[in-house]
Each structure stands twice: as structure tokens, then as C-alpha cells.
Amino acid sequence: MHILFVADPLESFQTYKDTTFSMMREAQRRGHQIAVCEPRQLLWQQGGVVQAQTRRITLTGLADPWFEEQPSAVLALHSFDAVIMRKDPPFDSEYFYATHLLEQAEREGAKVFNKPRALRDHPEKLAIMEFPQHIGPTLVTRDAQAVRAFHAEHQDIILKPLDGMGGMGIFRVKADGLNLGSIIETLNREGAQSLMVQKFLPAITQGDKRVLVIGGVPVPFCLARIPQGGEVRGNLAAGGLGVAQPLNDADRAMAQAMGPTLAARGLLLVGLDIIGTHLTEINVTSPTCFQEISDQTGFDVPAMFVDALEAAVAASVHPAL
């Protein structure tokens, strides 16, 4: 296959832990050709098809330089066997526009993973509200008074922006309500911006578990991201310690219940975030943790992903089979 990765700049990759890099490495190991572009390099001209300024690369197997490249070329997205959208959050206006260009490329015959419409339809924090049976007490609002009422009911709460990533902008307010007003003002910008409020889950001390679901099937190991020091956040970007562990029965049951539904919507790869037995986020834009799980357990997550990618491409070419 000839695969195009739409991603952040190659020069920004930290290859020892980067999930997109691990996908590329496994794809190349199987003989697939790799090209890359950034969302800013997508283009669509009147009367034409969606194209991109692409870089054809070969992985070297070295730490530095980790890739070699051929001269860049402008190519139609539908000329690739698969297009993998791996641009990291935030999901801002430019990301939104990129999904529209990718959806147009689909209409022209491109096979895009995760599906652009599904990326738009599943904002990563808000998407959990579709699955109330799996989440703890949660409120989404712009209304400061509604937040205060939620705090009065649950006493110990977490507040966070809907568009945050890596643990940015997450606050905990305990029963004393210290700084609640200031935090609300910071997050909702005087009612102009929605925020999410959740009951604090003490199980965070055992980790915020990332459960990967590939082609509707859960990876048998998760990465528990355990807060360090006085932190309430387990995110690796916020200093959390990543510890791989087998899925427990509750995690597996949740992933098996949700996985086929999400896969049917065009989400080939999903990262479920689970604290205790509660779902806290559904990651669809650029789920990570492939290398951490593989390195600690020996389970080959990139191979499972490329297996699923190959099967999805084959199914789209031969839908009747």
C-alpha cells in the first residue's frame, strides 16, 4: 500500500514514544510506502480534486536522522491506498477545515482513517455524554450558577475546558469551594465558553487508564497514567507515570460494548480514558500510548493497528467480500 500520514511536522517527532512513528515503522516493515504532509499542505482548487504537498520518506532505523526523503510532490489524496489523519489536538478551526477537505477527498475516492465526519462528530470530552451508563456525574454548561449547584451537590469536583489536551486547564475544587468563582471565570470566559464539570474520582490515584480500541477490538493491555507528587492529573504531558497493565474485566467489558459502535462510525482507532470504572474521555483525533504498551508488555500494538488498517482498506476495495 501507499499510505499518506497527515500529521504534525516530522521534525517535531519524539520517535522513542511517538505513536505515529510506530505506525510508520510497522507499515514500512511490511513493505508499504510512506508519505507525509501537514494539514496546512492540503489544497483544493476550483474544478480540481483535493491534493497535498507530500514528502515521500523512508525510515532509517537510526535515532538521528530517523528518516530520509525524496523530493516533495503534489499528489491527489485519492491516489493513496490509505490516508491516516494523525494531527495532534487542539481541535481548532483549522483542524475543522482540514476534516472538510479530507471529507471531500473521500467523495473523490480517498480512504481516510479516522473518518473525517466521525472526527467532527466526536469531540473528545463531550462524546462521553452519549454513553451515560459508563460515566460519573458530569455537567456541560456555560452557566456559572449551574456549576455552583453541581459543586454544592458533589462537593469535590473537576473543572476543565472542552478543547483542552494533555491535562491543560484542569482544576480540582474541594468542599471548601476555594477559588471556584475565579476558576469558573477563567474557563467559561464570562459565559462565552462551555466547560465540563465532573465529580472527582478518587480512583485517579491508581491511574487514568488509556484503553486502546482498534477496529472495534480492545488492545488487551492499557496504560495507567498515574499522577505524581501533588498532581491530580495523570496525563503523561503533565508528568504522570505510565504503567502498562492487563485490562481488567470492567475495562474490557466497556471497550467491547462501545468498540463496535465506534468502529461502525468510521473510527478505526479510539483511545478510551477510564478512571476506576468510569469513562472520562473518548480520544479520536490522535490516540497515543502504542510504544509505551508495546515496550512494557511485548504486545505489538502497531502490528494490530496495521492489521486493522489493511483489513479496512481491503474491505473498502472489495465491499462484497
| Average of per-residue pLDDT values in the chain | 94
Grid cell digits, residue 289: 500510548
114, 188, 235, 283: the catalytic one is: 283
Pairing of strands 241-246, 269-275: unpaired
Q: How confident is the model at residue 320 (pLDDT cuts 50, 70, 90)?
A: very low
Decide if 115 is catalytic: no
Q: How does pLDDT run across 262-309, given as a tens digit for each residue?
A: 999 999 999 999 999 999 999 999 999 999 999 999 999 999 999 999
Decide if 252 is catalytic: no
Radius of gyration of the chain measured on its C-alpha atoms: 20
Grid cell digits, residue 28: 514500512
160, 199, 209, 251: the catalytic one is: 160
Decide if 209 is catalytic: no
Q: What is the pLDDT of residue 54?
A: 98
Q: How does pLDDT run across 147-205, given as a tens digit for each residue?
A: 999 999 999 999 999 987 777 889 999 999 999 999 999 999 988 899 999 999 999 99
Q: How confident is the model at residue 238 (pLDDT cuts 50, 70, 90)?
A: low
Grid cell digits, residue 82: 490509505
Decide if 225 is catalytic: yes
Decide if 233 is catalytic: yes
Distance CA 193, CA 9 (A): 30
Decide if 125 is catalytic: yes
Give the three-class secondary structure for 259: helix
* 77-91, 93-107, 145-159, 237-251: segment of lowest average pLDDT: 237-251
225, 235, 251, 292: the catalytic one is: 225
Decide if 210 is catalytic: yes
Decide if 273 is catalytic: yes
Q: What is the pLDDT of residue 167?
A: 73
Extract the runs of DSSP E, i.e. beta strands, from the chain: 2-6, 33-37, 42-44, 50-59, 67-69, 73-76, 82-85, 112-113, 138-141, 157-161, 171-173, 195-199, 208-214, 217-218, 221-226, 241-246, 269-275, 278-283
Structural domains of the chain in order of their starting residue, each with its CATH number: 2-117 (3.40.50.20), 137-200 (3.30.1490.20), 203-317 (3.30.470.20)
125, 163, 199, 251: the catalytic one is: 125
Angstrom CA distances, 244 to 44, 165, 294, stand at 42, 21, 9
Q: How does pLDDT run across 209-226, given as a tens digit for each residue?
A: 999 999 999 999 999 999
25, 86, 111, 233: the catalytic one is: 233
Angstrom CA distances, 154 to 138, 139, 158, 200, 281, stand at 10, 11, 10, 8, 20
Residue 278: strand pairing partners: 275
Average pLDDT of the segment spanning 48-72: 96
Distance CA 279, CA 294 (A): 23
Of 189, 202, 197, nearest in space to 148 by CA: 197
The pTM (predicted TM-score) of the whole model is 0.94
Average pLDDT of the segment spanning 114-136: 96
CA atoms within 13 A on the CB side of 249: 0
